[in-house]
Structure 1
Amino acid sequence: MSEQPTTSRPADRKYAVAKAADIAPGTRKIVHAGDRSIGVYNIAGKFYAIRNVCPHQGAPLCRGLTTALVVSDEPGGFRHEREGEIVRCPWHQWEFDIKTGQMIVDPKMRTKTYEVTVETFDVTVVDEMVVVHM
């Protein structure tokens, strides 16, 4: 009986990119992890990370406006939902959901998202760091 080859996933790479306190709720910080530029967002105390590249034409996506989702139930009426969860590309105004990376008008189009954790390092000085997993 021959042994089946096993496939394994590459090891999870972690990058400590910022102190949690440096990214206040409702703000973002653009960081570098490896060779990638990434926007790390604090939405209501939870951290999300997306690639700082618009899939349309390569604009620095995270330099765009962070806003709410505008929804409408009828002509002339609109309301804002999910405040601070949408980033708008600074070049062509394409909007992306920060939590999922999906484009608002075409969910099949997306930008890369990354897992984010906040970890405490138990050393001489305890310091909470935002860690991006790639």
Structure 2
Amino acid sequence: MKYVVATLEEIAPGDRKIVEVAGRSIGIFNVSGELFALRNRCPHQGAPLCQGSLWGTVTASVPGQIEYTPGGEILSCPHHGWEFHIRTGQSWCDPGRLRVGGYRVDVESGKDLLEDDAPDAAGPGGEAPAGRVKGPYVAETIPVTIEGHYVVLDVA
């Protein structure tokens, strides 16, 4: 089922908005103009994951030559600092014990809202951020679309 949760202007690049939809707290993130949504619950003691800090990535081609790439794609839990990649929900800290759900995000026109059957949520994808070791768990992501000037979540 689709839910209108914001206007596009309400979530500027680098910002987030936390909403309650179908009994779930969900964080919507604007990463350089792309929208992603994650369940607002860290698997360790239920911390409000989406209230955590956003980071870029750190790489080092050789010891001592550290390079920080901003981008705000790494979300760290506000309670214990465990990290998740916003685009995929993939865990990046203590991967043997972490798991949180994520949802797929799409951009559609307003008329497609009435005509289109939403596809099933996709699994994790993409490459690992530089300098990170991929863990076996994936955060719960939620499909997000932009329909006209509205941000819409597709929550099953």
- Over aligned residues, Cα RMSD in angstroms? 1.3
1:57 to 42, 45, 57: 45
Q: Alignment length, in residue pairs?
A: 115
**Mapping 1:1-134, distance limit 5 Å:** 13-81=1-69, 83-105=71-93, 106=95, 107-120=135-148, 128-134=149-155
TM-score normalised according to structure 1 size = 0.80
Contact 2:32 2:71 in 1 (8 A): no
Identity of aligned residues (%): 46
TM-score normalised according to structure 2 size = 0.69
Q: Distance in 2 between matches of 1:119 and 1:69?
A: 31
Query: Equivalent residue of 1:38, what SS?
Result: strand
Q: Distance in 2 between matches of 1:53 and 1:91?
A: 11
Q: Distance in 2 between matches of 1:72 and 1:33?
A: 40
What is the Cα deviation at residue 82 of structure 1? 5.4
Give unpaired runs (5+ residues) of structure 2: 96-134
Alpha carbons of structure 1 residues 81 and 104: separation in structure 2 relative to 1, 3 Å: farther
Higher RCO (Cα < 8 Å, 6 or more apart): 2
Q: Distance in 2 between matches of 1:56 and 1:109?
A: 13
Larger radius of gyration: 1
Contact 1:119 1:129 in 2 (8 A): yes
Give unpaired runs (5+ residues) of structure 1: 1-12, 121-127
In structure 2, give the amino acid aligned to 1:98: I
Q: Distance in 2 between matches of 1:64 and 1:77?
A: 27
